[in-house]
Structure formats: C-alpha cells, structure tokens
Amino acid sequence: EIVLTQSPGTLSLSPGERATLSCRASQSVSSSYLAWYQQKPGQAPRLLIYGASSRATGIPDRFSGSGSGTDFTLTISRLEPEDFAVFYCQQSGSSPYTFGQGTKLEIK
C-alpha cells in the first residue's frame, strides 16, 4: 500500500498570501494518478487537481499542482476567504487507492 504523508498538518495564513501544501509518497506514483481535493465542513470532497497538475473543471487558476515521483505540491497563489478548508492528496496508480491524512488551511 502506498502511504501518502501530507505536510504541514495545519497551515495558518491570511487572505492574499500564498499557500504551499506538500504530499510525499512512500513509493513512486505516476503523475497521471495523483489528485488533490478540497473539503469544507459538512461537504463532500471536491476535485481540484488531477494528473498532478491539471485543474478540474471550474477550478480557479490560483490553484496549481506540481511534482513527480514521490513529491507533489499544491499551491494556492493568492488565498481567497473561500479557500480555507482541508486539502487531501490521493493516488490511484496502485490499489488500494489511498489518501493523505490532510492539511488544514486556516485563517490566521
């Protein structure tokens, strides 16, 4: 099983700042099979990024993904108030499909 470790656990930033979230895999993941999701309280996760760097439909361009192999990054260039939530990375290249433990992005 591929273990995904996200850091930091909590990130405290202010609107307008840049957020950088990390996802590290226990073994190499094909970039095609790495996705990022955003989850707000009481809601289902929402797909943000797939294929490590492709934005899902309707996702603003302030969200970007990068990385390869075992190290992947989600960047939010300029935080908007609605961006504060929990973010998960997920791999689907190897079954069982696994998620990271999440990074909580909170307002400073």
Partner 1 sequence: QVQLQESGPGLVKPSGTLSLTCAVSGGSISSSNWWSWIRQPPGKGLEWIAEIYHSGSTNYNPSLKSRVTISVDKSKNTFSLKLSSVTAADTAVYYCARNDQLWWYFDYWGQGTLVTVSS
Query: Which is nearest to 60 in space by CA: 41, 73, 75?
Result: 75
Size of the site for partner 1 (CB under 8 A): 25
Place of tokens 């302030």: 62
| Residue choice 53, 73, 75, 92 for contact with partner 1 (CB under 8 A) | 92
Q: Which residues pair with 81 in a beta bridge?
A: none
CB of 23 to partner 1, least distance (A): 13
Task: Tell me the C-alpha distance between 26 and 4, whole Å.
Answer: 6
Residue 53 interacts with partner 1 (CB under 8 A)? no
Of 50 and 84, nearer to partner 1 (C-beta) is 50
